[in-house]
Amino acid sequence: MAWIEPEVTKKPKKPMFLCILSSTKTAHIPKLSAAGKTAELTDYTPAGDAELMETGNIISVPVLPMTPPYDTPTPAIMTRSALKLTDAPYHFINSGLIVTPDVPCIDLKAKPGEDIREPIAVRDVQGIYERAKFLAKRLRNQVDHVIIGESIPGGTTTAMGVLTALGYNGNVSSSADENPLELKKQVVEEGMKASGLTFGCLKDDPMKAVACMGDPMMPAVMGLVAGFQGTETSVILAGGTQMAAVYALIKHMGFNTEKLAIATTRYVVEDKSANFIELTRNLGVPVIYVADPGFGKSSLKGLHRYETGTIKEGAGAGGAMYLAGLFGITQDQFRTEVENVCKLLKAGH
């Protein structure tokens, strides 16, 4: 069986991987995000992910991005493996980081997101969007296929917030064994109230939905997609519910979505606590690529935790595996590389 479904047959000539790194203070709410050992340590996760994807280890951040209680390694190990195996060009984009990584980043001059229970969650949404659009226009001649991932702790909650404002039931995924859905719903409810919003009231104003209930990753991806509109470049949104929310925003902007697809992991698709498939069906997403790294066959305990749903997606992992598939990398080759990355990580720490 193919490890990426549907099977990728046509290889683009000039693919590129982009990863948006962002922070939202929504992640500081206790028990909301599992993308770090404590709520405060989630500030370091995107920077740690970028350093790991670039170098195979962390440089400036104090702790590896791990998910408690089993120290399951960040999905960035998958992205690192795919970038190594394919040697595809890539860029990290800082869109509102609290902690910046010690590796090269394109800076969109965005401020970190506030807690969505504040009246304004993202400042200068239009500015972030326009700067990302300029960036896409600058990259146009270098690419024919772009895969956009993200690393933002607390991002599934902001995704739920935006989906609610746009009028969708977004039972979002989680980076935890037990999805704290009730807590997320309560936070979203409080956020909607703080901004004076009702379910679906911003379906005609996606920018305001981001400003009130979103995070700074969203306008960055929206702007990139806008910059590639009208070209031959096709775009893959690499992620689970967060990228479904971004797809919803793009659709509500009135963009052409024919050249858009989502790539994610089978862990997101199989998450019974979320409604990813139903949501993407309602949104009319043209294609969803589902990648399976086959971690059940691995000898490493940390990777087995993925099979039990401890972590499902992040740092564009699903899209990175899709990229590996484009280059003809097999599931076994990919898993072996991930195991090598994990072993080197352990040796370095």
Q: Note the pLDDT tens digit of each residue in 253-299.
A: 999 998 999 999 998 888 877 788 889 999 999 999 999 998 888 88
Residue 287 domain flag: yes
Q: Is residue 8 part of a domain?
A: no
Q: What is the 3-state secondary structure (H, E, C) of 210-260?
A: HHHHCCCHHHHHHHHHHHHCCCCCEEEEECCHHHHHHHHHHHHCCCCCCCE
CATH number of the domain within which 332 lies:
3.40.50.10210
Total domains in the fold of the chain: 1
pLDDT of residue 112: 98
Q: What confidence tens digit (pLDDT) does each residue in 80-91 have?
A: 999 999 999 999
Handedness of CA 195, 200, 201, 206 (dihedral sign): positive
Assess if residue 285 is contained within a domain: yes
Query: Does residue 7 sit within a domain?
Result: no
Helix axes 217-228, 241-252, angle to 10 degrees: 50
pTM for this one?
Answer: 0.93
* Residue 151 belongs to domain spanning: 14-348
Is pLDDT of 312 > 90? Answer: no
